Amino acid sequence: MNLRDLAIAYSTYPAIQAYAALALVSAVLAVIWTENWGRMALTVLVATLIYPMAWYLIHRFILHGRWLYRMKWSAALWKRIHFDHHQDPHKLEVLFGSLANTLPTIALVTVPVGYLVDGKAAAATALATGLVTTCIYEFFHCIQHLNYKPTWNWVARIKQLHLYHHFHNEDGNFGIISYGPDMLLGTFYREARQKPRSPTVFNLGYDVEEAKRYPWVMNLTGAPPRDRPPRPPASGNSDSVKAAS
């Protein structure tokens, strides 16, 4: 896959198109409503700084928590937003979150902060910033999971760090672009040898025994949880193999 192929796969995905459209609408409303351009700039800065920490906390404590699959009403949610992604890390269909879950989360994180800065104008600004930031994160997320080899060293490095999370030990490197929260909260690791290989890296602790006690995710999947991803095609992603070794 070259960069053009990746960009097409990314830009034609419905979730990305929805984020972009809503970001445009929010930005237009922000421009119409704003009476203070300085506060608008401050809102963009604050929303941009909050996003990595919000993503980290959600990823670590909710998506990797072991409580959503233990309740029947939330099992399908957890399966769709994260379990399927770890079971098959390179599958495009589960690479992006479900809009029904991501959009309320983005709004919940950004809109109140913006409103505190400057009312509805800043709320719209913060929402637009969160949606644009999500698009940027998801583009790099595509690079990290699809069969594309980055030529820029920084991008190659963050891809390697993220693949450690998926193929070596899931209890660290929760970031996508920014690993500052990981460094701050002690979950960052630079090399695979710094952490033992995790037996739950592909099932997030939802193994066969857990599935017997809490069967709702397994019932939705139609098969027991896997402790390894499906075998890649012959031209599969060599970066994932390298990260797992």
From residue 234, give the alpha-carbon distance in Å to each of 111, 147, 238.
Answer: 46, 12, 10
Nearest to 182 by CA among 60, 4, 50, 47: 60
More confident residue, 142 or 231: 142
- Grade residue 232 by pLDDT with cuts at 50, 70 and 90: low
Q: Could you tell me the residue ranges of all domains in the chain?
A: 3-244
Q: What is the pLDDT of residues 53-97, one digit of tens each?
A: 999 999 999 999 999 999 999 999 999 999 999 999 988 888 888
Nearest to 145 by CA among 162, 124, 120, 127: 162
Q: Which H/E stretch holds residue 213?
A: helix 208-213
Q: What is the pLDDT of residues 13-60, one digit of tens each?
A: 999 999 999 999 999 999 999 999 999 999 999 999 999 999 999 999
